[in-house]
Structure 1
Amino acid sequence: MSAAIIAHGEENRRREEIVSFGRSLFERGLSAGSSGNISVRLDDGWLLTPTNACLGRLDPARVAKLDWEGRLVSGDQPSKEAFLHRAMYSERQGAGAIVHLHASHSAAVSCMHGLDDHDCLPPLTAYYVMKIGRLPLVPYHRPGDPALAEAIRGLAGKHSAVLLANHGPVVSGSTLEAAVYATEELEETAKIFLLLRAVPTRPLNEVQIAELKSAFRLDF
C-alpha cells in the first residue's frame, strides 16, 4: 500500500474524529450555535472546522484542510480564528490537536474582574492540575484581530491552555481526545470555582502540586 493511500486514510480518520467529538461537545451544551472550533495536526498540514459551522452538524468532507502557511487546500473556508490554532501549533510541537470553545463557565470566568493573569483558576482538584496546570489570561482582543495570535504565541510555549479575556479557552493536547478531555476538565473546574465563590475553599498547596508534577511528569 502506497504512502499516499495510507496518509489519505489517516486524514479521513481524523476528519471523522473531529465530527464525532464536535457532535459530543455540542450535544452536551459545551458549544452553542456556530461557536467554537476544532483542529487536528496532520503530516502535511492541518484540519480545522469551517467558519460559521455548528460543531454538532459537521460534514467530514467539508472540514477545511490548510497548509502551514494558512492556505486552504480543500474543504470549506476555515474558521476566522484559524490564526489562534496556528499560533499555538507553532509554539507547541507536541500539540496534535486544539479545541477552542465559548463554554458557559469558562467564558464566565474570562469576564471576571480581578483574575490572576498568570493563573486564572485555583488548583481545586488534582485532575485540573494534571490536565491544565496553570491557565494564563490573554488580554481582550476583538474577534478576528491578528494581534491575538502574537499574544497567544507569547504564552503557548509554556502553557498547553490559555484563557482569552471575555471570550473563552484555547486548549491543546497530544491528541484530539486529550485536548477535548482537558477542555472538559477546565470547564468543570470553572463551574466548581463559580459555585464556591462565596465559600472558603482549600485549593491544593505547593507540596501537593509538586507531588503531582513529579508523579505524572508534568512540565508547567
Structure 2
Amino acid sequence: MTETHARERIAALGRSIFQRGLTFGSSGNISVRVEDGWLMTPTNVALGDLDPARISKLAPDGRHLSGDAPTKETMLHLAMYRERPKAAAVVHLHSTHSVAVSTLAHLDPEDVLPPITAYYVMRVGRLPLVPYYPPGDAGLAEAVGKLASKHHAVLLANHGPVVAGTSLEAASGAIEELEETAKLYLLLQGHRTRFLTPEQVAALRERFPS
C-alpha cells in the first residue's frame, strides 16, 4: 500500500466509523505502518473530518515529521507495533458498549468477554483488561506493551478497546466484532446464556489463530 493510498484508507475508515456511531467527538485514533514510519490520525480531530494530507507522519523512532500534531495516544500505538512486528495497523475507539463493559466490576481481567460467537473467538480471541491510566499517560503505553506480544486486542479500563491487525481492514473488522460482542454481552445480562464450550473455542483457536 502506498502512503497516499494509506492516507485515503485511514480517512475513509474514520469517516465510516464516525458516521456509524462507533466513536464520537474527537475520540478514537487510527494508525498505519508505512515503509518509513507510521501514519497517525491527528489529535483533537473527529475521525469523520480527516483530511488525508494532514494526517500525521511519524519517523520509525516516533518523531513527528509532518502533518498535524499526532494523537495523544501515540505511545500506545507504538507500544503495540513494538511488540507485534507483523502489525500493519492499530485502531483505538471509545465505542459505547465496549467502554460500558470496561467499567463493570466483575470482569475477569485476563479475558473480559465470554465466547458468545465463533467470529468473536476468530477475530478477537482473548481480551485482557488494562488497568486505568489517564489518556496519553506513559504508564498506559507500558501496560499495553506488556500484553501486546500475546494479545492483538486489549480493553482499557474506563476507556475503550485497542486492536492491532495485519491490515487496516483486519484491525477495523476485529474492533467492530469486539464492539458488537460487548453489546450482546450487555443485552444478555440477567439471562441464562449458552456460550461456546471450551472444546468449541479450542477448535476455533487452532483453526483460526489470532
Q: Deviations over 1:98-144 (max 9, x none)?
A: 00000000000011111000000001000000000000000000112
In structure 1, what is the equivalent of residue 178 of structure 2? 186
Deviation at 1:69, TM superposition (A): 1.8
Question: Among 194, 202, 207, which residue is 1:202 paired with?
Answer: 194
Q: Which amino acid aligns with 1:161?
A: A
For 2:80 and 2:165, how far apart are their aligned partners in 1?
11
Is the CA contact (8 Å cut-off) linking 2:102 and 2:155 kept in structure 1?
Answer: yes
Question: Among 95, 120, 131, which residue is 1:128 paired with?
Answer: 120
Question: Among 15, 34, 48, which residue is 2:7 paired with?
Answer: 15
Residue 72 of structure 1 pairs with residue 67 of structure 2: no
Residues 6-155 of structure 1 mapped to structure 2, 5 A cutoff: 10-155=2-147
In structure 2, what is the equivalent of residue 159 of structure 1? 151
For 1:36 and 1:133, how far apart are their aligned partners in 2?
22
Deviation at 1:214, TM superposition (A): 2.3
For 1:135 and 1:214, how far apart are their aligned partners in 2?
17
For 1:212 and 1:145, how far apart are their aligned partners in 2?
36
SS of corresponding position for 1:61: helix
SS of corresponding position for 1:89: helix
Is the CA contact (8 Å cut-off) linking 2:125 and 2:205 kept in structure 1?
Answer: no
Q: Deviations over 1:147-190 (max 9, x none)?
A: 11110011000001000000000001100011000010000000
TM-score (norm 2): 0.98
SS of corresponding position for 2:164: strand
Q: Which amino acid aligns with 1:17?
A: R
- Unpaired segments ≥5 residues, structure 1: 1-8
For 1:196 and 1:183, how far apart are their aligned partners in 2?
20
For 1:174 and 1:167, how far apart are their aligned partners in 2?
24
Deviation at 1:200, TM superposition (A): 1.2
Aligned length in residues: 210
Larger radius of gyration: 1
Identity %: 61
> Which consecutive segments of 4 or more residues in structure 1 shift more than 2 A?
none
Q: Deviations over 1:10-55 (max 9, x none)?
A: 0000000000000000000001010000000011100000000100
TM-score (norm 1): 0.94
SS of corresponding position for 1:116: coil
Q: Deviations over 1:190-212 (max 9, x none)?
A: 00000001101111111101111
